[in-house]
Amino acid sequence: MLEHVYLIPLLPLAAAVTLVFLGKEGPHSKMPFLSVATMGWCLLQSSAILWSAMTGAAHLPYAASMPWFEFGEYPMSLGVLIDGPAAMMLFVVTLVSFLMQVYSIAYMHGDPRFKRYFAYVSFFTASMLGLVVSSNLLVVFSCWELMGVSSYLLIGFWFEKPGPAYASKKAFITTKVGDLGFYLGMLIIFAYAGTFDLTMLRERVAMGAAYLPAHAATAAGLCLLFGAVGKSAQWPLFIWLPDAMEGPTPVSALIHAATMVAAGIYLVARTYFIYQASPLAMDAVAWIGLVTAFMAASMALVSYDIKRVLAFSTVSQLGYMMLALGVGGYSAGLFHLTTHAFFKALLFLGAGSVIHSVHSNDMREMGGLSKKMIVTFATMTIATLAIAGFPFSSGYYSKEAVLGAVYAHSPAMWAAALFTAAMTTFYMFRLIFMTFLGEARDHEKEHHAHESPALMTIPLCVLAVLSVCSGWILEHFGLVEHLFGLPSAVVHGAEHAAKAVEAAGAAAEHGAAAANHAAGHPASHPAFLVPAALSAFAAGLGISWKLYASGDFTTATKIKQTFGPVFTLLEKRYYFDDFFLFLVDLSDRLAAACFWVDANIVDRIFVDGWGLVTILLAEIENFIDAVFVDGLVDASGWVSRQAGAGLRTLVTGQVQEYLLYVALAVSVFIIQMLTMR
């Protein structure tokens, strides 16, 4: 199975191309089933790979490549590199994509561009899978860009509406800014290490300063981080993700919750050896993650759009993963990435189910839907418990792992992360309470509300099961260690890893394979971590219950009035959008000013002035030409004309005159001959 892993990205690509060019477009097109079937096959293959990776049947990392082209003296290879995280990501991406496509058959049915939607989704999935498996950083970058394109296409899927059109542009341009960082990072890496192949790169980086000196590692790490910041919607480039919710909801579930935004995290994890070589870059990852997690969670507190809340929550959770990676909790970050993909996809698909039913995004117009939509309510509640870290749900394990890793690095950061976790619990339950509990606030909408068809609820149930048990399975069977453990050879080089090893010392007696990885194992941390997390959960749930569960929001409104400026700040998203617009405006004005200088000074003086000088020179030259040169030409003409006029009087046509001239000439010759003698 593993040797045919290249099929996993290529088959959806083929499906996408087929869907684009073949078959009939229409609201009831049968072509999407091809896409779903392809993804089903990919899911089977990925599951087989993951299973063999879990059981240890397959020896990871598995790498295979073929020559691609020669870049001067540097050979480029096209290949796959499957390690534990890649195997897990393959499974997650294909699973979420498959479920989301099944869900979309019902959700998008009747859309005039039904076929095209699936073509885009297949194309996106192919790009993402290509990114996951590729062993060459150049291919990773290509897939990264292709994902940007497909994300653009899918956010702007309803491009005839102004909102999605604007949002797709915003998302594309913002991520593009980040892509610049990725590209620069790649160039730095190539300039120093001379290869794009991840395996070779890892070896060369491990050799230390001979290939990648510390400052270069820092620069490369920061640049790659900037790329990840753009793609994973981290601070300060998080502004595009909330707007990306203009796309179809299943797309949000696939791209902007479970997979594409995870690509940034995955990239950092994939190039983790570079960060290990640079403590500064590592700290930057951690701080960006923390800031993002906190800010996004706080913005989610006040949003009324059900999808926006989830979008902010996604940003916040991605920040968590970044934070985990940054503090050395490599496996904790990837663990959270996996579990988050399940419950966040579930939340989005559930939100899609709600929106499908009530035709509104605004939570203020919902309420009391639990009676009408029991499956959606149940599954979304499970996902909410998971994201909030309810004991023994998947989020509980992964969040504990993250928090443990953070605590090992810095208790202050841990406190901030814990506060963020409390906020997460609060806003997630606020969402559940406002949507499903209380009395219906908009009776007409409530009246039309109904449970979604089975095609939509079955994926919800599958994801709900995974949201509950994936954490336990991964944790209980030691798969977090097995799949997400760092290769030990690299660990020794870096300071952070050394710290991790130190922390692991305490855990050594537990007998776990914690030698190269301590962060993320709850048992290795102080005992108060778990109770602290649980009390944060309880606090968030309690406040949320008090304010929103009854359907009576008077207390909430009162608080909002008391802290008006704070709410405005949060609702305006810390004015980051305005800040970026201001930057754009500023550059616009700067460009206008430069244009003015160019048009009025540079053009006037240099261009127009030079033209004037040229005209003057030309006038002078013209004068000389007309008077002197042409005079000479005319004079020569005049002379020959006059000479001709004089000579023509000799040519009379009278033969006898000619004869006379001959006679005269002969006479002259004779006289001369005679006199010369």
Contacting positions for another protein (CB under 8 A): 647-648, 650-656, 659-660, 663
Q: Which is nearer to another protein, 554 or 656 (CB)?
A: 656
Q: Which is nearer to another protein, 562 or 654 (CB)?
A: 654
Peptide bond into 242 cis (omega under 30): no
Q: Which is nearer to another protein, 647 or 676 (CB)?
A: 647
Shortest distance, position 669 Cβ to another protein, whole Å: 15
- According to DSSP, residue 626 is labeled I
* Residues comprising the chain, all counted: 677
- C-alpha gyration radius of the chain: 37
Shortest distance, position 608 Cβ to another protein, whole Å: 58
Are the C-beta atoms of 535 and 415 separated by less than 8 Å? Answer: no
Shortest distance, position 628 Cβ to another protein, whole Å: 33
Are the C-beta atoms of 283 and 326 separated by less than 8 Å? Answer: yes
Q: Which is nearer to another protein, 412 or 663 (CB)?
A: 663
* Backbone phi, psi, residue 194, to 5°: 70, 25
The span from the CA of 506 to the CA of 526, in Å, is 10
Q: Under DSSP, is residue 452 helix (H, G, I), strand (E, B) or coil?
A: coil
Closest CA relative to residue 421, chosen from 451, 396, 442, 392: 396
Q: Which is nearer to another protein, 210 or 645 (CB)?
A: 645
Closest CA relative to residue 401, chosen from 464, 340, 314: 340
Q: Which is nearer to another protein, 210 or 647 (CB)?
A: 647
Shortest distance, position 674 Cβ to another protein, whole Å: 14
Helix 394-409 vs helix 454-476: angle between axes, to the nearest 10 degrees?
Answer: 50
Q: Which is nearer to another protein, 210 or 651 (CB)?
A: 651
Chain-centre distance for alpha carbon 187? 18
Q: Which is nearer to another protein, 656 or 675 (CB)?
A: 656
- Residue 218 makes CB contacts below 8 A (sequence gap 6+) with 278, 280, 281
What element of type H or E holds 417?
Answer: helix 411-436
Peptide bond into 487 cis (omega under 30): no
Show the 3-state SS of 212-272: CCHHHHHHHHHHHHHHHHHHCCCCCCCCHHHHHHHCCHHHHHHHHHHCHHHHHHHHHHHCH
Shortest distance, position 609 Cβ to another protein, whole Å: 58
Are the C-beta atoms of 122 and 38 separated by less than 8 Å? Answer: yes
Q: Which is nearer to another protein, 655 or 674 (CB)?
A: 655
Q: Which is nearer to another protein, 654 or 675 (CB)?
A: 654
Strands 62-71 and 74-82 come out as antiparallel
Shortest distance, position 634 Cβ to another protein, whole Å: 23
CA distances from 514 to 195, 329, 470, 503, 524 (A): 32, 12, 21, 10, 9
Are the C-beta atoms of 337 and 272 separated by less than 8 Å? Answer: no
Q: Which is nearer to another protein, 565 or 646 (CB)?
A: 646
Shortest distance, position 667 Cβ to another protein, whole Å: 10
Shortest distance, position 659 Cβ to another protein, whole Å: 6
Shortest distance, position 625 Cβ to another protein, whole Å: 35
Q: How many other CB atoms are found less than 10 A from the CB of residue 362?
A: 16
Shortest distance, position 643 Cβ to another protein, whole Å: 12
Token pair of 533, please?
Answer: 């997390």
Helix 394-409 vs helix 411-436: angle between axes, to the nearest 10 degrees?
Answer: 150
Q: Which is nearer to another protein, 412 or 662 (CB)?
A: 662
Shortest distance, position 623 Cβ to another protein, whole Å: 39
Q: Which is nearer to another protein, 632 or 639 (CB)?
A: 639
DSSP per-residue letters across 457-520: HHHHHHHHHHHHHHHHHHHHTTHHHHHHPPPHHHHTTSHHHHHHHHHHHHHGGGTSS-TT--TT
Shortest distance, position 671 Cβ to another protein, whole Å: 14
Shortest distance, position 657 Cβ to another protein, whole Å: 8
Q: Which is nearer to another protein, 66 or 647 (CB)?
A: 647
Closest CA relative to residue 135, chosen from 59, 78, 66, 186: 78
Shortest distance, position 647 Cβ to another protein, whole Å: 8
Could you give the angle at the alpha carbon of 392 between the alpha carbons of 388 and 394, nearest 5°?
A: 60
Helix 114-133 vs helix 260-270: angle between axes, to the nearest 10 degrees?
Answer: 10
